[in-house]
Chain A
């Protein structure tokens, strides 16, 4: 094996049922329900999924939701903005902890 991530593994996702059919069934039913058209449109959910895929840095999800976003009618500009949302929250999550650092500095420093 020359890499842990292989594109041909993505369509094999349903094979995860081999070890526990019931849990896989429940998961995929839930998954399908989550992405159905609801109070949010399926296109909006796909953009959220794309952003989260970048936050969790999952290449399978990035592959799947890049394609899905295009099929749902999003374009590159909209998808790029979604990725920047993920980036801003990830970066912001680090940066906002700087307030804790500030607190320590203010307490310990003169």
Chain B
């Protein structure tokens, strides 16, 4: 296997996980800074490209929160992979940004004060955070449904081989990335060998009881387009994936969700470097669908970063656009459900990514 002789394999190695790219931070490129990303988007000559104005035209007076449903915790940017489209700029070199125990405990304390039904743990590869299992245990103890946003390949590392069973025993939903049910597009986005490892990991999850219709062992696949195009019909694709994965690999899953790629971080860099940025943003703004606004995830989600800051969604988090509550930013230690519910959600041009076509969210299409 991978870690014979010692119990550790360097995350930066191809053994630990496929690599399609390197982090913007490690390359010290200007676009690593959220401000530079926002400036690049704002500088585009984009007809109909003012998000708040488009909401107003559709008779929607800004984005207001709904009752809190999803408590999303981004435990850090460390990852065993470096996918080309990553909006987090995650990778094996991102060792500095990791949630510590005190912040994890503050998350649990804040969770206990909210009615959120679901705790959504993401990263990076969230399993790499030393407090991942603590967060899962405590969230389950508080009676919340827990989601592990899993890149699949991490499950093949020996130190995580217990996870499929461990997660299954706690009823954790595994929401895992698989851009396509065939190899080509998966490896193009996530690195050579990803598809094969992903199928191996899905088999481990199936063996632990995942993907067989048991609501306590729900296996959800997430597809992001591998290129400068939008996510297709979730229902139609789910049908084809189900047939294809079962026929060719004997793999089962419970549902497929389709997300658009957000013009942030490494995907933004890829769009710009391939000359696709303007056309992609025009496509997003032209496909603005007011009907997708009602189900936007930012309306019933809060997103906590590794250092305890609170954001309206994971994308705003990566663009350093924190939630504004009574005119100021808040940390999870100071979280107050009532004042948080009265805020107005922060938007910018990237928000067109979630309102295009059938809509896009961490839970898939919003319409």
* B229 sits at the interface (CB 8 A): yes
B residues near A72, Cβ cutoff 8 Å: 232-233, 236-237
* B185 sits at the interface (CB 8 A): yes
Taken together as a complex, chains A and B put the C-alpha atoms of A78 and B184 apart, in Å, by: 10
Q: Is the CB of B240 within 8 A of A77?
A: no
Taken together as a complex, chains A and B put the C-alpha atoms of A41 and B244 apart, in Å, by: 15
* B308 sits at the interface (CB 8 A): no
Q: Is the CB of A76 within 8 A of B236?
A: no
Q: For the complex formed, measure the closest distance between the CB of A45 and the CB atoms of chain B, giving whole angstroms.
A: 11
A residues near B232, Cβ cutoff 8 Å: 43, 71-73
* A70 sits at the interface (CB 8 A): yes
Q: Is the CB of A71 within 8 A of B240?
A: no
Taken together as a complex, chains A and B put the C-alpha atoms of A73 and B237 apart, in Å, by: 7
Q: Is the CB of A70 within 8 A of B184?
A: no
Q: Is the CB of A75 within 8 A of B229?
A: no
Task: For chain A, residues 53 to 110, give those with C-beta under 8 angstroms from any C-beta of chain B.
Answer: 67, 70-73, 75-78
A residues near B182, Cβ cutoff 8 Å: 75, 77-78
On whether A73 and B227 interact (CB within 8 A), knowing A37-B236, A41-B240, A42-B236, the answer reads no
Q: Is the CB of A41 within 8 A of B180?
A: no
* B11 sits at the interface (CB 8 A): no
Taken together as a complex, chains A and B put the C-alpha atoms of A75 and B223 apart, in Å, by: 13
Q: For the complex formed, measure the closest distance between the CB of A63 and the CB atoms of chain B, giving whole angstroms.
A: 11
Q: Chain A interface residue count: which class?
A: 10 to 19
Choice from B184, B227, B240 contacting A43 with Cβ under 8 Å: B240
CB-CB nearest in chain B for A78: B182
Q: Is the CB of B236 within 8 A of A71?
A: no
Taken together as a complex, chains A and B put the C-alpha atoms of A40 and B1 apart, in Å, by: 45
B168-209 Cβ-contact flags toward A at 8 Å (1 or 0): 000000000000101011000000000000000000000000
Taken together as a complex, chains A and B put the C-alpha atoms of A73 and B180 apart, in Å, by: 8
Choice from A37, A42, A67, A76 contacting B184 with Cβ under 8 Å: A76
Task: For chain B, residues 215 to 247, give those with C-beta under 8 angstroms from any C-beta of chain A.
Answer: 223, 225, 227, 229-233, 236-237, 239-241
On whether A73 and B240 interact (CB within 8 A), knowing A42-B233, A67-B229, the answer reads yes
Taken together as a complex, chains A and B put the C-alpha atoms of A73 and B223 apart, in Å, by: 10
Taken together as a complex, chains A and B put the C-alpha atoms of A41 and B231 apart, in Å, by: 16
Choice from B180, B233, B241 contacting A75 with Cβ under 8 Å: B180
B residues near A42, Cβ cutoff 8 Å: 233, 236
A residues near B223, Cβ cutoff 8 Å: 73
On whether A71 and B184 interact (CB within 8 A), knowing A41-B240, A42-B233, the answer reads no
Q: Is the CB of A71 within 8 A of B225?
A: yes
Which residue of B232, B237, B239 has the most chain A CB atoms within 10 A of its CB atom?
A: B232
CB-CB nearest in chain A for B256: A73
B residues near A71, Cβ cutoff 8 Å: 225, 229-232
Task: For chain B, residues 46 to 87, give those with C-beta under 8 angstroms from any C-beta of chain A.
Answer: none
B residues near A70, Cβ cutoff 8 Å: 225, 227, 229
CB-CB nearest in chain B for A41: B236
Q: Is the CB of B236 within 8 A of A75?
A: no
A residues near B230, Cβ cutoff 8 Å: 71
Name 27 interchain pairs, CB-CB below 8 A, sorted by A: A37-B233, A37-B236, A41-B239, A42-B233, A43-B236, A43-B237, A70-B229, A71-B230, A71-B231, A71-B232, A72-B232, A72-B233, A72-B236, A72-B237, A73-B180, A73-B232, A73-B236, A73-B237, A73-B240, A73-B241, A75-B180, A75-B182, A75-B185, A76-B184, A76-B185, A77-B182, A78-B182
Contact surface of B with A, Cβ cutoff 8 Å: 180, 182, 184-185, 223, 225, 227, 229-233, 236-237, 239-241
Contact surface of A with B, Cβ cutoff 8 Å: 37, 41-43, 67, 70-73, 75-78
Given contacts A67-B229, A71-B225, A75-B184, 15 further A-B contacts (CB under 8 A): A41-B236, A41-B239, A42-B233, A43-B237, A43-B240, A71-B229, A71-B230, A71-B231, A72-B232, A72-B236, A73-B223, A73-B237, A73-B240, A76-B184, A76-B185
Nearest 4 interchain pairs by C-beta: A73-B237, A71-B232, A70-B229, A72-B232
